Amino acid sequence: MQDLEGRTAFVTGGVSGIGLGIAKALARAGCELALSYRNEAHRDATLAWFAEKGFANPLMVRLDVADRDQFAAAADEVEAAFGKVHILVNNAGVSVFGPTDEATYADFDWIMGVNFGGVVNGQVNFIPKIKSHGEGGHIVNVASMAAFISGPQAGIYTASKFAVRGMTECLRYNLAPYNIGVSLMCPGLTRTNAWDSALKRPEQFGDSGLGEVDPDALKQFGTAFDLGMDPEEVGEKTVQGIRENKGLILTHPEHGEDIQEIYETTMAALPKEEASEGRLHIERLRREGNRAAAAGRKIGLEDLT
């Protein structure tokens, strides 16, 4: 069980919703915090909460996670302030929906740029810093149950979360030798304002094929979020997952039926035939390599043939 007391953590999108829930849980666990923000009212409300609860003020860093130069500067600022960074939580994202078959390049560039590109930017800028101090650490990439479950209105959003899932699962093997844990956190419906992302679309991505935003319909959609899990509960479950170095953190029990259906559909799709010994041999090597990587050994291409 990992002790988080005195560790330093950077949470993107850490002043509202799930990011704030995680930040609060990390503060209770004894972490020093840096939080990225874009909305100044959310920043100020977050600082007021920390002051009211008697926690040290987090370092507040204004950041567009899709901007590589900004992210590089933010990472340097956080390291300069704390000396060392141990925990990275890539949380910031946008929830935008619409028919994938009508999407434009602008739709893909915006949603993928934030939801996947933002995670990439976090990893590229912080992994070398976490490696450098040699004390280990942890990375949490926040995805969604959309990393497993697809639907007709969430094509690009789902693609971004599937991408985060695949990258995170592989990264866990890569960082095990450095005593850096990696978790994929997939929340379900949570009581946040994520539903209003479409109202904050940047001007440079204005050429959308997803249709004009109907504020009334969007607000009605937002009422579903009111029924969601408290972000602080999601945050506490996430921090417990960090302590236990869980590769996968699932917070919402109601998705058991979906996971079971995915499993059964996948197993049913496998051909009912024998595989050749050569192919079986290669897959055995792959599995052995994965187990060795998870145990902390660096695996190269030479280990897979």
pLDDT tens digits along 214-262 = 888 888 988 999 999 999 999 999 999 999 999 999 999 999 999 999 9
- 68 in helix, strand or coil? helix
Given a cut of 90, is residue 2 above it in pLDDT?
A: no
Produce one character per residue of 127-155: b if its CB has 16 or more CB atoms within 10 Å, e if not.
bebbeeeeebbbbbbbbbbbbbbeeeebb
pLDDT at 302: 93
DSSP state of 145: G
Say which of 105, 157, 178, 263 is annotated catalytic.
Answer: 157
Show contacts of 193-199: CB within 8 Å, 24+ apart. 193/16, 193/17, 193/222, 193/225, 194/17, 194/93, 194/94, 194/95, 194/225, 195/95, 195/221, 195/222, 195/224, 195/225, 196/222, 197/94, 197/95, 197/96, 198/96, 198/97
Q: What pLDDT band is residue 297 in, cutting at 50, 70 and 90? A: very high
pLDDT for 211 beyond 90? no
Domain ranges of the chain: 8-255, 271-305
Higher pLDDT, 239 or 213: 239
User: Which segment of 163-167, 193-197, 236-240, 251-255 scores lowest on mean pLDDT?
Assistant: 193-197
157 tagged catalytic:
yes
pLDDT in tens, 81-112: 999 999 999 999 999 999 999 999 999 999 99
What pLDDT is attached to residue 205? 93
Quick one: pLDDT at residue 222?
Answer: 87
Please spell the DSSP secondary structure of 101-137, one letter per residue: GG--HHHHHHHHHHHTHHHHHHHHHHHHHHHHH-S-E
181 pLDDT exceeds 90? yes
Is the pLDDT at 213 greater than 90, yes or no?
no
Minimal CA–CA distance to 100: which of 199, 208, 197?
208
Give the CATH number of domain 8-255: 3.40.50.720
As a whole-number percent, the residues of the chain with pLDDT over 70 amount to: 100
So what's the pLDDT on residue 56?
95
The pLDDT value recorded for residue 217 is: 85
pLDDT at 193 over 90: no
